[in-house]
Amino acid sequence: MSNSTPQPALEIIGRHSLNGEVKISGAKNSALAIMAGTLLCGDDCRLSNMPCLADINTMGQVLASLGVKIKKTGSTWEFNPRDLKAVKAPYDLVSQLRASFFVIGPILTRLGVAQVPLPGGCAIGSRPVELHVRGLQAMGANVIIEHGVVNASVKGSSGRLKGANIFLDYPSVGATETIIMAATLAEGETVIKNAAKEPEIVDLANFCNSMGAKITGAGTDTIIIQGVSRLHSTDYEIIPDRIEAGTFLVAGAITHSEILVTSINYDHLIPAIAKLEEIGCRVLREDETTLRTIPGALKASDVETLPHPGFPTDMQAQFMALLTISEGNSLVTETVFENRLRHVAELKRLGANIKVKGNSALVCGVPMLSGAPVMATDLRASAALVIAGLAADGKTIVQGLQHLDRGYENLEQKLQGLGAKIQRLPHYQP
Ligand code: EPU
């Protein structure tokens, strides 16, 4: 008997096929940026289709700590930022959630001063924020980083940031979001070149435009923002989570099942669907918002992660799980984050045959995985281990659920609804 403290874990009995349909929740990464965006407006904002997740609750706490009043009714959240007063985001919250650094743009552009702790690295990489900072500096912000805090203030008597031409060395999602939000209330025009093109960028721009911002080009590599002096209240629906949807499509493929994945946006899933079809699982478009997986023999395929519209890094671990039982050799290369292959060691515990060199993993397909206890190392790695467990012979126990709960709403209930043999053990003793 071990002396370690009991932890929640998921128990999965693998090799059961799935059937039925699963409804996708609102997009975590859109919701996080848009929650920061509510700080731009002096009036109430209402967001619907908000996913129920630990990360979303933490972002809610960050906003509350800045003086925002929040009311939740199911998946609709109302934000009243009229009393926004604090310019300093608390370290204990920012260190838990990197995305809370995104409040720097809205606070600075609205109040003229912002102090946000450096978020630090996380399990998947060092994740610096110099592109965010350079963008704000280009718009005239004075930025001093000391004692682990980014102190930004607006120079000059107008108290407003100034539009600027900004070229991003890399199409960073977060930096593009920070600059969009800051530029929305700046004086004059901001042009972001080599901007990120992810669907979450388009969602943030649409949200800002619904409050009266003037943003064009979101979804392309050049985004133009004409600054306005104030924004008005809005009622906005968050887009579906493309990564959650992709995760369920892979669950269908790995269990050789026909399932329906509903409430999706097809265009956002094109890179994942194209790769699934290459591997051998057909994905039919039932209607505008529903996909059907049609199982097929799984064969090897190479995967290289890239900024959108390339293959998403947030799907790399789940596809690697699928490739472990796909016939032949697949080369999986991670180019976006420097340390996002930590799930390899855990997949190997399930019998996968994988060799890592640098940021690439050679996955040699095996006929079957075998269930074992495994430890999740980050959010998408946890989803990959659950998916692998669904296909593995016998029992898999996935520990480290704090990662999974950050980004998947009711994953085990949704999988149970599809007939998976999965249950949460609240007090698993390793
Ligand atoms: N980078 C820099 N300097 C910067 C900013 C980024 O070097 O100033 C580097 C990062 O270190 C990383 C790469 O650029 O190596 C990409 O980072 P990016 O800024 O594009 O990502 P992010 O905004 O930190 C968001 C998502 C991630 C997702 C990435 C890429 C949110 C809250 N997070 O992160 O989501 O992987 O874009 O698509 O939107 C997840 O949901 O599991 C997740 C990690």
Whether the CB-CB separation of 376 and 356 falls below 8 Å is answered with: no
The pLDDT of residue 281 is: 97
User: Which amino acid residue places its CA nearest to atom 6 of ligand 1?
Assistant: 172
Ligand 1 atom closest to residue 55's alpha carbon, by position in its atom list: 32
User: Which amino acid residue places its CA nearest to atom 40 of ligand 1?
Assistant: 314
User: Which amino acid residue places its CA nearest to atom 22 of ligand 1?
Assistant: 174
Phi, psi of 316 (to 5 degrees): -60, -45
Quote the tokens at residue 357. 């060199």
Quote the tokens at residue 360. 């690439």
DSSP assignment, residue 268? G
Cα-to-centroid distance, 313 and ligand 1 (Å) = 9
Ligand 1 atom closest to residue 177's alpha carbon, by position in its atom list: 23
- Is the distance from the beta carbon of residue 379 to the nearest atom of ligand 1 less than 6 Å? yes
In angstroms, the CA 392 to CA 375 distance is 15
In angstroms, the CA 241 to CA 256 distance is 23
The pLDDT of residue 83 is: 86
The pLDDT of residue 102 is: 95
Radius of gyration of the chain (CA): 22
Quote the tokens at residue 304. 């290289």
Kindly give the confidence (pLDDT) of every residue in the chain, 430 residues in length, as a single tens digit, with 9 standing for 90 and above: 556 789 999 999 999 999 999 999 999 999 999 999 999 998 999 999 999 999 999 999 999 999 999 999 999 999 999 888 888 899 999 988 989 999 999 999 999 999 999 986 677 777 889 999 999 999 999 999 999 999 999 987 778 999 999 999 999 999 999 999 999 999 999 999 999 999 999 999 999 999 999 999 999 999 999 999 999 999 999 999 999 999 999 999 999 999 999 999 999 999 999 999 999 999 999 999 999 999 999 999 999 999 999 999 999 999 999 999 999 999 999 999 999 999 999 999 999 999 999 999 999 999 999 999 999 999 999 999 999 999 999 999 999 999 999 999 999 999 999 999 999 999 998 8
In angstroms, the CA 380 to CA 383 distance is 5
The SS3 call for residue 189 is strand
Burial of 81 (C-beta count, 10 Å sphere; 0-12/13-18/19+) = buried
Q: Which residues are catalytic?
A: 122
DSSP 18-82: -EEEEE--B-HHHHHHHHHHGGG-SS-EEEES----HHHHHHHHHHHHTT-EEEEETTEEEEE-T
Ligand 1 atom closest to residue 130's alpha carbon, by position in its atom list: 8
| Of 21, 23, 22, 27, nearest in space to 268 by CA | 27
> Which amino acid is residue 276, in one-letter code?
L
- Is the distance from the beta carbon of residue 408 to the nearest atom of ligand 1 less than 6 Å? no
User: Which amino acid residue places its CA nearest to atom 44 of ligand 1?
Assistant: 314
In angstroms, the CA 288 to CA 27 distance is 18
The pLDDT of residue 308 is: 97
In angstroms, the CA 204 to CA 33 distance is 7
pLDDT in tens, 89-134: 999 999 889 899 999 999 999 999 999 999 866 777 778 899 999 9
- Is the distance from the beta carbon of residue 319 to the nearest atom of ligand 1 less than 6 Å? no
The SS3 call for residue 343 is helix
How close are the terminal C-alpha atoms of the chain, in Å? 9
In angstroms, the CA 176 to CA 105 distance is 11
Quote the tokens at residue 95. 């260190």
- Is the distance from the beta carbon of residue 313 to the nearest atom of ligand 1 less than 6 Å? yes
| Of 416, 239, 233, 384, nearest in space to 303 by CA | 384
Cα-to-centroid distance, 173 and ligand 1 (Å) = 6
Number of residues that make up the chain: 430
In angstroms, the CA 117 to CA 367 distance is 48
The pLDDT of residue 159 is: 82
Whether the CB-CB separation of 59 and 126 falls below 8 Å is answered with: no
Ligand 1 atom closest to residue 243's alpha carbon, by position in its atom list: 41
In angstroms, the CA 165 to CA 341 distance is 36
